[in-house]
Amino acid sequence: MRFTEGNKSLIGRERNETLEIKAWGKNAFRVRATQYSKFSEDDKALEYVEPEDVEVNVVWDKSEIRNGKLRCVVDFRGWLTFYNGDKQILKEYYRSFSGANEHSPSMKIFAREFKAMQGGDYSITMRFEANEDEKIFGMGQYQQPHLNLKGCVLELAQRNSQISIPFYVSSYGYGFLWNNAGIGEVMFGANYTQWNSKCSEELDYWITVDDTPKDIIRNYTEVTGRAPKFPENALGLWQCKLRYRTQDEVLEVAREYKRRGIPLDVIVIDFFHWIRQGDWSFDPEYWPDPKAMMDELKEMGVRCMVSVWPTVDRKSVNFPEIMDRGLAVRTERGSIQCFDFQGDTVIYDATNPEAREYIWSKCKENYYAHGIDMFWLDEAEPEYSAYDFDNYRHYTGPALKVANSYPKLHAKAFYDGLRGEGREDIVNLLRCAWVGSQKYAALVWSGDILSNFAALRDQVAAGLNIGMAGIPWWVSDTGGFFGDKNQEHFNELLIRWFQFSTFCPVLRMHGDRGPHDIPTLSDLDYGGGFSPTGQPNELWSYGEEAYTIMKKYLDIRLSMKDYISKIMDEASHNGSPVIRTMFYEFPDDSKCWDIKDQYMFGDKYLVAPVLYQGMTERKVYLPKGTWKSIHDGAEYSGNSEITVAAPLEIIPVFEKIG
């Protein structure tokens, strides 16, 4: 491979391949390779940040580029090896004669592999040597209990409760972004790491090194964006259920919170407050005066969030215009249908700027004009009846190539719309995200999950890993989504989940609570009375014991508002997660890299949630320092494992002293 020096970059060419290693941000490179005549002009998830300290040295057999602490050495065959100073952190994997060394040369396996698609782009595979003792964190949200992702196989695709954000932080001191919005897969194998994109025009990734995970996240969010300031009037309790069906139901709940003297920050109006999906407006039969409803809520100090789905029913008032103007996701084969839940629907195309402006214009007219300034962007993956990604096409290209960026652009539609109205206190709730969603005020929740302790354990890993992928605002449905109030141990689960949610970025009550024996308001197959609802889901809905315990933890959270606001500001300043892996705050403590069932709430509070039914005590590891229980004030010396009592009313939480 022949190398030349570019603009703060090293460029190699051989046969049809062009390779570029470009300094991009602090201690970081963007690496691209293409079989086309030139690179695309699309930076995808990245924003360019000028590097400060770059050196390029071109030698025929071993060229090198350095950006601060990160070095890349390229031999004459074009194989890349990355170093943090003198420490090797990542090396391309090859098993071929052109790369023969101590490995078998006869297998003809190459690190960078382009397989042409008939008449189109390429299926691209990228392989790296495995670091045997490496630990890997981040990658978004997957419904599994594994915090360390080494050994995992992950689909790079968006689904209900699965969020693909292809960035990870390694225990080897580097961060890696697969800068690709296409459908694919990554395998963090013991023998090698393999990335695959099913349809792409070029290979594209970004890598950074630094001294601590906090520094790595700072570098990463500098080039992908950071969350804005979180609104202080949304740090308390969010009240939600499946579904408040009328404006009277919403007001009755808000009035009861006020009567009980319980501060309520946000109340949420869920789906089918409309007539048809895609109307993006209230059904006037059940919501006759939204402006009056909002005036009363604001007088009580309660913000209101309304659910907006991206789905558009064929019978919606907006369907003809959306189809005529080409504002919907297209199907490549068969009928023009994407989702069939409670209607025959297509999905508006968030990758199309004109479609984003259109959906905001409708929501501005039918919601914002009444005083609603928070939006629950449900189905934001978007959800399909069948996740046959090869059957969908977006404005920006086939779904196989671009689909994972959809939730980010969906968030952008509402963030840009609210900013255009002069709003700064923006937070919208989404069920999915991609790299950079955080900069569009996206509060991400973990989707439609089961109500059991296994799901609760999964959420701890999910919340910590999505934070390591750059999304600091995250929440789960307290108590899980699919649950029955009559199931054995449900109240215990709800209380344990509420305790966990207290020490999360947002505290939100939500869930589809059975038994489903409440009659619908209408016999029609459309409109605000058509869809069923779940059982009551307010703090007082589960008996006196549950109410007393949950009220206690709400009071604890409200007493911490100044602290929570401070750690939210830190997320805006340097990208730090709000809930943090133990090693994030204690990177020099090797034990903290192995702990998956406790975490830090900011830099000050250690939280050890109770994650198993019937558990009344648990072990807690305390890193160096002095720690004080928030419950009884008992102090403990760090560098030790202790066993503490955890009766139903207690979640072990310790404050770091000094």
pLDDT digit string, tens, across residues 483-493: 999 999 999 99
Predicted pLDDT of residue 96: 80
Residue 281 shares a structural domain with residue 407: yes
- The answer to whether 374 and 266 are in contact (CB under 8 A) is yes
* Residue 119 banded pLDDT, cuts 50, 70, 90: confident
381 is catalytic: yes
Distance of CA 383 to the CA centre of its chain: 15
Q: Do residue 276 and residue 420 come from a single domain?
A: yes
Residues 208 and 240 in one domain: no
Q: Does residue 390 lie in a domain region? A: no
Q: Do the domain assignments include residue 320?
A: no
Mean pLDDT for the stretch of residues 632-657: 98
The 3 state secondary structure assigned to 105-129 is: CCCCECCEEEEECCCCCEEEEEEEE
For position 97, what pLDDT does the model report?
66
Q: Which of 547, 538, 557 is nearest to 500 (CA)?
A: 557
612-622 tens-digit pLDDT? 999 999 999 99
Whole-number pLDDT of residue 25:
98
Q: Around Cβ 61, how many Cβ atoms within 10 Å?
A: 8
Write down the pLDDT at residue 639: 97
Note the pLDDT tens digit of each residue in 396-439: 999 999 999 999 999 999 999 999 999 999 999 999 999 999 99
Q: Of 381, 458, 477, 538, which is the active-site residue?
A: 381
19 and 125 in a single domain? The answer is yes
* Residue finishing a domain among 526, 553, 574: 574
pLDDT for the residue 332? 95
How many distinct structural domains can be found in the chain? 3
pLDDT of residue 152: 98
341 domain residue, yes or no: no
3-state secondary structure of 566: helix
Active site residue 416: no
pLDDT higher than 70, residue 245: yes
pLDDT band at 120 (very low <50, low <70, confident <90, very high): confident
Residue of 92, 204, 283, 378 marked active site: 378
Taking 60 as the threshold, does the pLDDT of residue 99 lie above it?
no
Domain membership of residue 358 (yes or no) is yes
The CATH code of the domain that includes 303 is: 3.20.20.80
Nearest to 445 by CA among 307, 352, 546: 307
Residue 444 and residue 381 share a domain: yes
Q: Which of 378, 30, 353, 377 is nearest to 178 (CA)?
A: 30
- The secondary structure of 379-441 as a DSSP string is TTTT--SS--GGGEEETTEEHHHHGGGHHHHHHHHHHHHHHHTT--S--EEES---TTGGGGT
Q: Answer yes or no: do 243 and 277 share one domain.
A: yes
Mean pLDDT of 497-512: 98
How deeply is 113 buried, as exposed, middle or buried, from its count of CB atoms within 10 A (0-12, 13-18, 19+)?
middle
Compute the average pLDDT of residues 517-532. Answer: 96
Rounded Cα–Cα distance for residues 135 and 595 (Å): 12
Residues 547, 586 share a domain: no
Assess whether pLDDT exceeds 60 at residue 226: yes
Domain boundaries, position 638: 581-657
> Does 198 have pLDDT greater than 70?
yes
Residue 98 has pLDDT above 70, yes or no: no
Q: Is the per-residue pLDDT at 222 higher than 60? A: yes
CATH number at residue 621: 2.60.40.1180
Q: Taking a C-beta distance cutoff of 8 angstroms, is the pair 538, 239 a contact? A: yes
Check which CATH number belongs to the domain holding 54 and give it.
2.60.40.1760
The band of 255, judged by pLDDT with boundaries at 50, 70 and 90, is: very high
Tell whether the model's pLDDT for residue 277 goes beyond 70. yes
Q: Which residues contact 544 (CB under 8 A, 6 or more apart)?
A: none
Q: Are residues 139 and 100 part of one domain?
A: yes
In this structure, the answer to whether residues 186 and 275 fall within a common structural domain is no
pLDDT at residue 105 tops 90:
no
Q: Which among 141, 128, 142 has a CA at the least distance from the CA of 170? A: 128
Q: Is residue 318 part of a domain?
A: no
Say yes or no: 60 and 30 in one domain: yes
562 lies in the same domain as 596: no
pLDDT tens digits, residue range 552-589? 999 999 999 999 999 999 999 999 999 999 999 999 99
378 is catalytic: yes
Domain's final residue, options 521, 549, 574: 574
Q: List, for residues 154-176, the tens digit of each pLDDT value.
A: 999 999 999 999 999 999 999 99
Q: Tell me, what's the pLDDT at 12?
A: 96
- CA 197 vs CA 183, 236, 262, 530, 547: distances in Å: 6, 41, 50, 42, 49
Cβ 65 vs Cβ 54: under 8 Å = yes
In 3D space, the residue among 630, 505, 617, 514 whose CA is nearest the CA of residue 566 turns out to be: 505
Indicate whether 144 pLDDT > 90: yes
Residue 344 lies in a domain: no
445 within domain boundaries:
yes
Alpha-carbon dihedral angle through residues 402, 403, 404, 408, given to the nearest 10 degrees: 90
Tell me, what's the pLDDT at 102? 58
Rounded Cα distance, 242 and 541, in Å: 14
Q: Are residues 505 and 528 in the same domain?
A: yes
Closest by CA position to 305, among listed 441, 450, 472, 496 = 441
Last residue of a domain, one of 574, 589, 606: 574
Q: What is the pLDDT of residues 307-364, one digit of tens each?
A: 999 999 999 999 999 999 999 999 999 989 999 999 999 999 999 999 999 999 999 9
Q: 3-12, 49-58, 114-123 — which is least confidently predicted?
A: 114-123
- The pLDDT value recorded for residue 118 is 83
Specify if 314 maps to a domain: no
Catalytic residue among 113, 296, 448, 569: 448
Of 107-121, 124-138, 240-254, 616-630, least confident by mean pLDDT is: 107-121
**Cβ neighbourhood burial of 450 (10 Å; 0-12, 13-18, 19+):** middle
What is the token pair recorded at 21? 């290693």
Q: Cα(60)–Cα(14) distance, rounded to whole angstroms? A: 13
Average pLDDT in the chain: 97
- 454 pLDDT exceeds 90? yes
Record the pTM.
Answer: 0.97
